[in-house]
Amino acid sequence: MKTIPTRKSSEHFPGAVARMRYFSEENPHQTPPDLHAHRDEYYIFLLIEEGGGKLVIDFEEREITGKSILCILPGQVHLPENDIRGSGWFLAVDSMVVRDEYKKIFEKSVPAGNSIKPEKAIMNDLRSCASIIYNRLKSDNENTRQYILQDLLSSYIGMIAETYQEKFPTTISNRLTVITHEFKSLLAANYRSMKRPAQYAAAMNISPVYLYEVIKQATGQSVGDYIRNEIVIQAKRLLFYTHMSIKEIALELGYEDWAYFTRLFTKVSKLSPTQFRNKYLK
């Protein structure tokens, strides 16, 4: 079975905690020609100053226009960023640099495909900070400078997280955060066999109603929608990276009735499995 390649920080920016570069029409963002859809084990932040384009993340096409920010989470399958035309800053940063409170904000806002348009003052601050980080990354990597670099990176990422939080406000208690994380972990391990929200609620020893309220507040989606979206993402990966038939994929994902699976996939993705495969493998 063809696997989805994962780019590691040790390969993309060996010996460093981040890679920052400026791109423009004269100096566009470059990706190795043999790299297609892939995952990264690190965070990616795009700060678009002018221009824009389209980016496919987990097989959903995202439109990005000038003066905007987009975050790609570790593990999200995406196509190379070569279709972004214009100018701006690209940052790839090791997950260890991103503070836990910022990670929670990104996990809430990013999976829905949200890019954001910061206020002019924030945009200017981010530009200035990006330029300083870029110059620091080019300098000698002495220990004292590394502390300064990590503080600068944390400030840059923090400003982005703050802007996301302002655009998509959420107040989630620690208890809700724990439940949401437990649900996501259970789903990742059991989506083949557990399809109903009540099954997850029972496994977590809480009521289905309470689970619904928590996940709705934390993610903006119902538990049922979250389960279906996870299944469809897994199906898209199998359609893209294997030669399995629709029936085989349905069985792999726990559906004996492949016609029902096809209807579910089509309803969620707006394309049938065959149409999806033809679109991305043409």
**How does pLDDT run across 144-172, given as a tens digit for each residue?**
467 788 899 999 999 999 998 888 765 55
**Which element (helix H / strand E) includes 77?**
none
What does pLDDT average to over the chain? 83
Query: Tokens for 272?
Result: 């049938």
Greater confidence (202 vs 238) lies with 202
Cβ pair 62, 70 in contact under 8 A: yes
Which two tokens mark 169?
Answer: 């406000």
C-alpha separations of 83 from 51, 54, 63, 68 in Å: 11, 6, 10, 15
pLDDT tens digits, 86-144? 899 999 998 888 987 888 788 777 765 668 899 999 999 999 999 999 998 887 555 54
Q: What is the pLDDT of residue 109?
A: 73
In angstroms, the CA 272 to CA 239 distance is 11
Per-residue model confidence (pLDDT) at position 204: 95
3-class secondary-structure state, position 48:
strand
* pLDDT for res 212: 94
pLDDT in tens, 28-54: 555 544 456 777 888 999 999 998 888
- Residue 137 CA to residue 5 CA, distance in Å, equals 26
pLDDT in the model for residue 84: 74
Q: What's the CATH number of domain 174-280, 1.10.10.60, 1.10.760.10, 1.10.3720.10, 3.40.50.40?
A: 1.10.10.60
Please tell me the predicted confidence (pLDDT) of residue 34. Answer: 45
| Residue extent(s) of CATH 1.10.10.60 domains in the chain | 174-280
Instruction: Name the strand (E) or helix (H) holding 127.
Output: helix 120-138
Element housing 193 (H / E): none
Q: Which of 8-12, 84-88, 90-94, 216-220 has the highest mean pLDDT?
A: 90-94
The class (CATH top level) of 6-167 is mainly beta
What span, in angstroms and rounded, lies between the C-alpha atoms of 242 and 263?
A: 21
